[in-house]
Structure 1
């Protein structure tokens, strides 16, 4: 153990003995840990920073919108309302979102990024497992 680690540990122990850690917010409650195991390691920090800032990358927003549109289309098809004007409108919107997403990924050089592809596969697997 390095000298700084040892010193930090001694100060923590001293603070615990003197009761400085009593009545901290969240005391006695389980920690809320984020599961970032599905995010490639080299992308975790940037995703964490953006999430803490309340920002989502445009490609994530577009993917989310595509999923919503796909669900709406599936609902139209399941209701037997095929060929309706609403279904055509949804199909057009979905096509436009997919094209924008492809263009955005191409511009950013992410369409062939192994990290992004791996992350996308993990998201798909998770979504499919939640549907079952």
Structure 2
């Protein structure tokens, strides 16, 4: 079960991202410390060499694109299809994050 504040945190982060508050942060472009652990180094290297992006990252990107498309769409039928796709992607993302939290 996720923390009850996760949706509020996610909304705050999306708002900050839209208003470019993450632009020019100290440490931007440098590796995150928690990803520099030796046990993660092999997985990180393999992912970078093969240009693999985690599923959760792919889903979040696709969700952003779907939300933008929904905002621009005026046809009711196409909007309904986009809303279904968004719902499917949100469910897949939730399942992916739950698995990541549970199994690492």
TM bracket, shorter-chain basis: 0.5 to 0.7
Matches within 5 A, 1:98-109: 98-109=90-101
Distance 1:54 1:62 in 2: 16
Corresponding residue for 1:36? Answer: 29
Distance 1:54 1:100 in 2: 22
Corresponding residue for 1:87? Answer: 79
Which 4+ stretches in 1 moved above 3 angstroms? 44-49
Q: Secondary structure at the match of 2:93?
A: helix
Structure 1 position 72 matched with structure 2 position 73? no
Shift of 1:52: 2.5
Shift of 1:48: 5.4
**Which has the higher Rg, Structure 1 or Structure 2?**
1
TM-score, normalising length: structure 2: 0.56
Q: Deviations over 1:81-101 (max 9, x none)?
A: 26x100010011011101110
The answer for unaligned runs of 5 or more in structure 1 is 1-34, 111-132
Corresponding residue for 1:126? Answer: none
Aligned length: 71
Q: CA RMSD in A?
A: 2.5
* Structure 1 pair 72–48 and aligned structure 2 pair: CA distance change class (3 A): farther
Matches within 5 A, 1:1-132: 36-37=29-30, 40-43=32-35, 45=41, 46-47=43-44, 49-76=46-73, 81=74, 84-109=76-101
The answer for unaligned runs of 5 or more in structure 2 is 1-27
Q: Deviations over 1:58-78 (max 9, x none)?
A: 1111111111101101112xx
